Structure 1
Amino acid sequence: MPAFDTLAAFLAVSVLITLAPGPDNLMVLGQSLARGRAAGFGIAVGCALGCFTHTLWAALGVSAALASSPTVFAALKLAGAGYLCWIGIQTLINARVAQVVRNGGSTPAPWASQVRRGFIANAINPKVALFFLAFLPQFVRAEDGGATAQMIALGAVFALQTIFVFGAIASAAGMLGRALARHGRASIWLERMAGVLFIGLAARLALDDHTL
């Protein structure tokens, strides 16, 4: 296990990274505004699970193999962009459902589906894989034991703080979305905004030629 001072430093940096605007917290924000706190929290949990998956990939050397293969990297990047675009299109098509759900007219999408969305969007993003490959080893210390065990422990800490930080974002955005939804067609426009956000994130991922 990493030493306490290492864990404290890692946690502080991780919280700052998680708070910085990026695809994951923007997904949480958009879904919370459009669909409520529970939907946003589902995305948050899915993203956290995705982060821990990237930790395992980094610890087992999978991410290093990804970094050495531009073809695989590009394929995963396009797959991630395609998935985000598909979510965005589906969100736009079903925009009117949002107002009905908030008014109690139908059952909202299962929470597990939101977790799955967040997990897949995060887990197949190769830029996140390369981030963990570069980030985690900086906090591994030879005197604290095996590198693999330390990386897994650090990844677990990162995933847990992700749930707390994104959960706070989901709660605040969910309350704001509920207040806005009381004004006529606001729910429809919030849902459309979330759809456009997903498509924008897809375009950003697909067109970004930079790697870590």
Structure 2
Amino acid sequence: MRDAALILLPLVLAHFAAAVSPGPSFVLIARTSAARTRAAAMRMSVGLGLGAMLWAAAALFGLTLLFEIAPWTYLAMKVAGAGFLLWLGYQLWRHAPEPLDMTLAGQDGLSRTGDVRHGLLVQIANPKVSIFFGSVFVTLVPPDASVAFLAVLLALIFIVETAWYLAVSTFFAVPQIRARYLRLKAWIDRACGGVLGLLGLRLAIS
């Protein structure tokens, strides 16, 4: 048990360092919590946790091998991910000048399951996540790891990813921060949309 803990610790720390670095997921949660509700951002956080766990499972069970055998699958995923990030960026930029109807906060066209699904799709399309789990992460996992070890590891990936974005959603739900966001909404949304668009372009041409 102690040996397993010593192996899990650097894996969890590496994943946490990757999770806290800014990217599309951070933009999504910060904007959703400030512009809609913390509850909506928290549901999306669960989707992000599920997405990270899926990427980790895919990396552990042969995603890298699949890319080597069929390079077109990597290209297809990269194009799809770039397209999704560009679409998100366009939507943010397009609707930036529109005022928020706070009486409808928390709905915004998405159901509760829709929020989770949206977070999951953003995470699946996130190039930072795919690169981390497809390269750094898999090199830290022992090749002879047991099924029980892998199950615990995947559970920890979900917990760490979700917990971080739950913290982000709570921070941006603070009334003072929300009020400041509403005053600067158009500029912030355009900046966030620009960041997502640049990430999509970078993924498309890389």
Band of TM-score, shorter chain? 0.7 to 0.9
Work out the percentage of aligned pairs sharing the same amino acid.
26
Task: Show the counterpart of 2:28.
Answer: 27
- Is the partner of 2:103 in helix, strand or coil? coil
Task: Show the counterpart of 2:56.
Answer: 55
Corresponding pairs, count: 201
2:37/2:105 contact within 8 Å kept: no
Q: Does 1:168 align with 2:167?
A: yes
Q: Does 1:200 align with 2:198?
A: yes
- Cα distance, 1:36 vs. partner? 4.0
Give the TM-score, by structure 1 length: 0.77
Return the alpha-carbon distance in structure 2 between the equivalents of residues 79 and 42 of structure 1: 24
Trace 1:17-96 onto structure 2 (pairs within 5 A). Answer: 17-95=18-96
- Is the partner of 1:99 in helix, strand or coil? coil
Pair 98,191 (structure 1): closer, same or farther in 2 beyond 3 Å: farther
Report Cα offsets for 1:176-207 as digits up to 9, x if no partner.
Answer: 54121464xx3344434433333232223223
Return the alpha-carbon distance in structure 1 between the equivalents of residues 104 and 37 of structure 2: 15
Task: Show the counterpart of 1:180.
Answer: 180
- Is the partner of 1:21 in helix, strand or coil? coil
Trace 1:83-122 onto structure 2 (pairs within 5 A). Answer: 83-95=84-96, 99-100=100-101, 103-105=102-104, 108-109=107-108, 110-122=111-123
Task: Show the counterpart of 1:151.
Answer: 150
Return the alpha-carbon distance in structure 2 between the equivalents of residues 9 and 156 of structure 1: 15
- Is the partner of 2:22 in helix, strand or coil? coil
2:29/2:45 contact within 8 Å kept: yes
- Cα distance, 1:107 vs. partner? 5.7
Return the alpha-carbon distance in structure 2 between the equivalents of residues 52 and 42 of structure 1: 16
